[in-house]
Amino acid sequence: MAVEVLFLIVFLQGLVLSALLTPFSIWLAIRTNHFDNPGHRKIHSQPHPVLGGLAIFIAFNLTVLADVFLLRSSLVTGDVLLRWDLTHVLIGELRGHLPGVLVVLGKLHALLLGGVIVFLVGLWDDRRGLQPAWKLLWQFVAALILIRARVRFDLFPGYPLINSVLTVLWVVGLSNAFNLLDNMDGLAGGVAAIVACFFAACAYQMGQIFIVIIFVAFIGSVLGFLHYNRFPAKTFMGDAGSMLIGYLLGGLGVLMTFYDFSSKTSLALAKPLVILAVPAFDTLSVLAIRLKNRRPLFMGDRNHFSHRLVALGMSQKHAVLFIYLVTFCTGLGALLIRKLDVWGAMVILLQVLIIFAIIALLERVRTRDNQP
């Protein structure tokens, strides 16, 4: 139970910090005239402060850096810096994971540095506007920092170049997927928190306690902000926040292990795709619509998953809740794949595809009925 208590402590640290920092970010946005103004492709009718990503960024980094310092000092030197009985128990439990903890610590610095770059680029884009090509360039730079620190997939042993390319595409893809998903009050933050919960649960299944701690800090930091971002939103996270959470989820996903000797099928490697099915569906579907309509791929519109649900008759609040539920339903399958054989895992993957096929069918019927 000691480790679970540590998870709770770290979660509350991120939650409280983010909840306290978000009002400050709103005040700062007002003072610096940092607003997201209404437009033809946006659904809000009033200007909103758009510095909420700052609260997530600071809360996550402070929580992780402070806890990493304490844990590393205690694990490596044997000195317990926090004089709690609980800490003695925790150090005893985590010492068995010391090699893995030290490996992740070395790579964590690269993840945090890349996060700084992505956040600053998003902040500049929110303030001044940035061409998509420049955003992509800096996202690739942040992803290459991970590669330099040997944070990459190991899907093809002996082929580091292929693994590196896949890692870069994964991280950059998720950075943009959550940027695209941030189109309705509470949507991107809520989906990110649900996704992170499933990632944390998978890491816990694999005994990756330190990775769970980082995910828990992430969840707390996002939920503290989400209180102010749920409908009707008092503030937005902006590109700085949406690209950051996508980047962090991508990088942490690479740090995780999804397959080991206890897994009954190599399809266990599909767990991140199952967990991230909703952001993937939103990104691929909206890009397909833009291609079909011969519109620029990087020009915003109102053809996202959430917008299409509103077109089906849902309110904004219900559309966001519906997407939360779909994310939860698809993510549940990821917790089972590890214990299933290849046929059982294929059933999980098929179930995910059927869920989105049903949604696509409903959208198609609605579109046909609206045609003259």
> Model confidence over 263-277: pLDDT tens digits?
666 677 789 999 999
Q: What is the pLDDT of residues 155-194, one digit of tens each?
A: 888 899 999 999 999 999 999 999 999 999 999 999 999 9
Contact call for residues 171 and 147 (beta carbons, < 8 A)? no
Average pLDDT per consecutive 10 residues, the chain (372 residues; last block may be shorter): 80 96 96 82 77 97 85 56 45 56 79 97 92 95 95 88 95 96 95 97 88 95 96 94 97 83 67 94 93 84 91 93 97 88 89 94 71 49
User: Chain-wide mean pLDDT for the chain?
Assistant: 87
d(CA 181, CA 305): 8
d(CA 256, CA 250): 10
Using alpha carbons, select from 2, 73, 8, 25 the residue that is nearest to residue 235. 25
SS (H, E, C) 31-90: HCCCEECCCCCCCCCCCEECCHHHHHHHHHHHHHHHHHHHHHHHHHHCCCCCCCHHHHHH
Residue corresponding to tokens 């991970």 = 146
Using alpha carbons, select from 51, 63, 49 the residue that is nearest to residue 17. 63
d(CA 132, CA 138): 10
- What is the per-residue pLDDT for 351? 94
- What is the per-residue pLDDT for 84? 43
The dihedral built from the CA positions of residue 293, 297, 299 and 303, taken in this order, carries a sign that is: positive
Surface-to-core class of residue 106, CB atoms within 10 Å of its CB (0-12 exposed, 13-18 middle, 19+ buried): exposed
Question: Could you tell me the pTM of the whole model?
Answer: 0.91
Identity of residue 43: I
What is the Cα 276 distance to its own chain's centre? 9
d(CA 119, CA 133): 16
Please count the CA atoms within 13 angstroms of the CA of 243 that sit on its side-chain side: 26
Using alpha carbons, select from 239, 299, 283 the residue that is nearest to residue 118. 239
- What is the per-residue pLDDT for 98? 56
